[in-house]
Amino acid sequence: MLFDYVGSGQSDPTAFDPQRYANLDGYAQDMIEVCDALGLSGVTLVAHSVSCNIGLLASIARPDLFERLVLLGPNPCFLNHPPDYQGGFERADLEGLLALMEMNYIGWANYLAPLAAGAPAGDAITGTFLDSFCSTDPVLARSFAAATFFADHRADLARVSKPCLILQHSDDALVPNSVGDYMHRELRGSTLELLDVAGHSAHMSKPELVIAAMQRYLPNA
C-alpha cells in the first residue's frame, strides 16, 4: 500500500496546513489516519529517509498498528552535535540549502538530485529525482525540507517498541555511516545491514539489494 504525503505527488495541495505540517508529527498523524481508514494492523512499514522518522513517530503513538519497520537511509537528526553525534550537516549548511530553495528552486533541485541518486546529472535515476522535485510546489517543498532537516528525533528512539531493520547506504552524502551505527545502538532489538550502494536511494538504484535484505529479515518473505 502506497500513499502520497500532503503537499507531494497526487495529494490535494489545498489540504496542506502550515501549522499541522510545521514538524513531522503532522505527517505521522496522517500515516496513522491512513492505517485507520483502511482498517490496518500488524503493518510492516517500509520507509525511506525522512519517512523513517515519520514511521517511528507513528509507531510510538500507535504501536498497535505496526509489527515491524524497515528503515532505508534513516537519519534522526541531520545536524551535527559534536563530539557525540555527526548527522552530516552544520546548521549553516542547511540554512544555505533552504535559502537556495527560496532564491533558485531549480538550482536547488539540480544540486540535491545527484546527491540523493548517487549518480551524476543526466543519469536516469537523477532525472527521476529532478522531475519529482520540480513537480512539487516550491513553498510546500521548503516547508517539508525545514521540517525534515531541522528535526531532532534522537530522544524518540528509546521509545520505539517495535523491531526495526536499518538499511544503511555505504556511501551516502546525506547520511554518514555513523548514523546507522547510532540508530542500531539506540533502537532496542534492531538489525543493521550495510548496503554496498552510493547515494541515498538504494530502492531506486539497487532495488535487488533492498529486496534481498528484506527477504532475509522478514519472516515468510
Helix (H, G, I), strand (E, B) or coil at 113: helix
Catalytic residue among 30, 48, 49, 190: 49
Nearest to 1 by CA among 30, 35, 27: 35
Angle at 10 between CA 172 and CA 25, to 5 degrees: 60
Catalytic residue among 48, 59, 169, 172: 172
- Annotation marks residue 64 as catalytic: no
- Annotation marks residue 84 as catalytic: no
Q: Are 111 and 103 in contact (CB under 8 A)?
A: no
List CB contacts of 30: < 8 A, sequence separation 6 or more: 5, 6
Helix (H, G, I), strand (E, B) or coil at 180: helix
- Annotation marks residue 81 as catalytic: no
List CB contacts of 63: < 8 A, sequence separation 6 or more: 161, 162
Catalytic residue among 48, 200, 201, 205: 200
Catalytic residues: 49, 172, 200
